[in-house]
Each structure stands twice: as C-alpha cells, then as structure tokens.
C-alpha cells in the first residue's frame, strides 16, 4: 500500500479516512488534526500557560510530546494515585520523558501529600475506586492549575473516549452530562480553570501510532481498576460498529457536537457555586468532596490507630 500524500511505502492505513500514510506523512496528518482542534475550538494560544495532565499512557504522552513540539508553554502534571506497581511504573515513565525532553513536570502523590490511599479508602467507605479517583483527579487538576497560574488544563481524551462517554450518556439519557459534553469546558467561576481535549478527533490507534513512530515510552497496560468498567464495554460495541461502517465513531461524536448538543442546553443548570470552607476550592456544598474524603480518611485512620492501641494494651 502507498502513502496518500507522497506515494512512499505506507506504514499505517486509516480505514475511516480510506487513507494510508508513511511515517512522515502520518505525522503531518496528526499535527494538522491537533492544530485544527486547538484553533477551531479556541482551546489556547501561544502565550497561554498549559498544564497537561499525564498518566504515562499513550494518549497523554502523545499530547505532551506534540504540544512541546508545537512550541507551547507546557508543564505536565502526574498524579501518583497509589495504585500499587502500576502507579510507580507510570511515574518512572513520565519522569524519564521529562528528563529526556527537559520538560517541566509537577508530581503529586496522594498518599504522601494527602495521607490516604485511594483503593484502601474506597474499600473502607464502600465506594468504587474509580469514582473516588475521578473526584480526586478533578480536584487536583483544578487546584494545581489555579495555584500555579495556568490558563488551561489539557487532557489526552481521544475520539474513542469521547464517543464511549457520549454513548453511555445517551443510553441512560443523562441530559445534564450531554449538555456539558464538549472538547472545551470553559471556566464558569474565577477559581475554575478552563479544560480542553486537543486529541478529541484522534483515535486510540492513531495516538498509539504517534508514540510508536516517535519512540516515546508509555505504560502499555491499563489501570487494573479499569477492568470491567462500562466504558470498556461501550468502546467494544463502538469498535464493532466502526468495523462494519468506518467513520461511525467520528460521525457520532462530531454530529452530536454540531447538531445534537444544543437540544440539551436547557438541561444544563448552572449550579450555585461557592468556595469550600476548608480549602477554598470551588464547590456546590459547604465542604468540597475532596475535603470530605480527607475527613473520612482521617476518621478511619483514627479508628484504626485506636483499635491497634487497644489490641496492644488490652
């Protein structure tokens, strides 16, 4: 198969575009997609300070590399979630990249910085690890960006992620979520930083090709808690549809953004925002969910300490 742009031997075939590319022309295609997304969606400009959130996976590593190559003012943030070996290995990958490219990196460690372990706390308070993890990540993305004076937070969400989220929200008619699904979440409060997804038109496979073609290391396995997540099932269903009809995922998402979302705008209530009485971050309650989790973790720890003392001195 020959490259559509230059006629050289092709390295990758993109079924949804019915186009094959050599390594160099794939990089051109990839860059054009990212530039178009940033420009059309008014995500950020060359003077903005961008905090790119990295997990060590292919998508966020591709985004970090691409934004650095494009010359943006980028700092990465890695959050060690305390998910055993998986978190430590992904941190190593991210730190190695930061050294190799002399790219600024902020590391947060939930256990060391905040004194609790996500999987343990989830078991103790009987909540799903992913829901706890999501709350903590959203909080830290905003807090670190705000404290560091960043203009925007960029994440590596790709077309597969966005189509699967949309699919899940449609299946259960989550009207509020549908109203807010967008590659750009603007700031709705002076203490909320804008969030953007520059890779929202690129597939997982294209991000994988990008990191492989550029020799970028990444953690190959998924987080162990992702197993059994409904988003994986939605991705499998969408992959089957894509196989039968290439371009389905892209049409589903882009047509929703162009034509569908506006039908849900009325469902997007602007919540009453205030500042958390403990940490000052934006919340809808007196105390934000992150501070409530910390309080719960402290109580559990105090109980465990008391229990240990009583067992030692019965």
Residue 275 CB, nearest approach to Zn ion (Å)? 8
291 binds, among ligand SF4, Zn ion, none (CB under 5 to 8 A by kind): Zn ion
- 304 makes contact with ligand SF4 (CB under 6 A): no
- Residue span 223-252 as binding mask against ligand SF4, x where in contact by CB under 6 A, dash where not: x-xx--------------------------
Q: Is 60 in the site for ligand SF4 (CB under 6 A)?
A: no
Contact between 288 and Zn ion (CB under 5 A)? yes
Binding residues among 131-150 for ligand SF4 as defined by CB under 6 A: 133-134
297 belongs to the binding site for Zn ion (CB under 5 A): no
- Residue 87 binds: one of ligand SF4, Zn ion, none (C-beta under 5 to 8 A by kind): none
- Give the Å distances, CA to CA, from 266 to 179, 253, 263: 8, 20, 7
Residue 129 in the binding site for ligand SF4 (CB under 6 A): yes
Pick 179 or 223: Cβ nearer ligand SF4? 223
Helices (H), the chain: 23-40, 58-69, 84-100, 110-114, 118-125, 129-147, 159-171, 175-180, 204-213, 230-244, 248-255, 289-312
Report the partner that residue 278 touches, choosing among ligand SF4, Zn ion, none (CB closer than 5 to 8 A by kind).
Zn ion
The angle that helices 230-244 and 159-171 make with each other, rounded to 10 degrees, is: 110
Number of chain residues interacting with Zn ion (CB under 5 A)? 5
Q: Is 279 in the site for Zn ion (CB under 5 A)?
A: yes
Choice between 130 and 192, CB closer to ligand SF4: 130
* 291 interacts with Zn ion by CB under 5 A: yes
| Residue 105 contact partner, candidates ligand SF4, Zn ion, none, CB within 5 to 8 A by sort of partner | none
CA 256 – CA 212 distance, rounded (Å):
31
**Cβ neighbours for 91, distance < 8 A, ≥ 6 positions apart:** 56, 78, 80, 107
Does residue 54 contact residue 78 with C-beta atoms inside 8 Å?
A: yes
- The phi, psi pair for 106, rounded to 5°, reads -110, 130
What does 43 interact with, of ligand SF4, Zn ion, none (CB < 5 to 8 A by kind)?
none
Query: CA-to-CA distance for 290 and 288, rounded, in angstroms?
Result: 5
Piece of 33-41, 108-116, 128-136, 286-294 that binds Zn ion (CB under 5 A): 286-294
Sign of CA dihedral 164, 49, 282, 57: positive
Upper half-sphere CA count for residue 291 (Cβ side, 13 Å): 15
**Cα–Cα distance measured from residue 88 to residue 99, given in angstroms and rounded to the nearest whole number:** 17
For Zn ion, the binding residues (CB under 5 A) are: 276, 278-279, 288, 291
For ligand SF4, the binding residues (CB under 6 A) are: 129-130, 133-134, 223, 225-226
């Amino acid at each position: 198969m020959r490259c559509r742009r230059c006629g050289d031997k092709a390295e990758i075939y993109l079924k949804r575009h019915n186009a094959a590319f050599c390594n160099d022309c794939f990089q051109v295609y990839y860059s054009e997609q990212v530039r178009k997304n940033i420009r059309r969606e008014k995500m950020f400009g060359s003077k903005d300070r961008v905090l790119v959130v990295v997990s060590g996976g292919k998508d966020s590593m591709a985004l970090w590399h691409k934004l650095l190559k494009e010359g943006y003012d980028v700092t990465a943030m890695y959050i060690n979630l305390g998910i055993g070996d998986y978190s430590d290995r992904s941190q190593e990958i991210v730190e190695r990249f930061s050294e190799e490219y002399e790219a600024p990196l902020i590391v947060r460690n939930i256990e060391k910085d905040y004194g609790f372990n996500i999987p343990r706390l989830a078991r103790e308070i009987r909540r799903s690890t992913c829901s706890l993890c999501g709350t903590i990540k959203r909080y830290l993305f905003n807090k670190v960006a705000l404290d560091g004076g960043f203009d925007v937070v960029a994440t590596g969400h790709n077309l597969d992620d966005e189509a699967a989220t949309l699919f899940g929200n449609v299946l259960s008619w989550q009207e509020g979520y549908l109203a807010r699904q967008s590659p750009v979440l603007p700031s709705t409060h002076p203490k909320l930083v804008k969030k953007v997804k520059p890779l929202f038109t690129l597939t997982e496979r294209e991000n994988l090709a990008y990191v492989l073609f550029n020799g970028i290391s990444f953690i190959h396995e998924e987080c162990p808690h992702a197993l059994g997540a409904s988003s994986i099932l939605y991705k499998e269903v969408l992959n089957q549809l894509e196989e039968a009809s290439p371009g389905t995922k892209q049409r589903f998402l882009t047509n929703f953004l162009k034509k569908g979302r506006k039908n849900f705008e009325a469902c997007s209530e602007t919540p009453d925002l205030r500042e958390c009485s403990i940490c000052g971050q934006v919340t809808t309650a007196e105390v934000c969910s992150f501070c409530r989790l910390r309080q719960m973790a402290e109580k559990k720890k105090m109980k465990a300490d008391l229990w240990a003392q009583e067992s030692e001195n019965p």
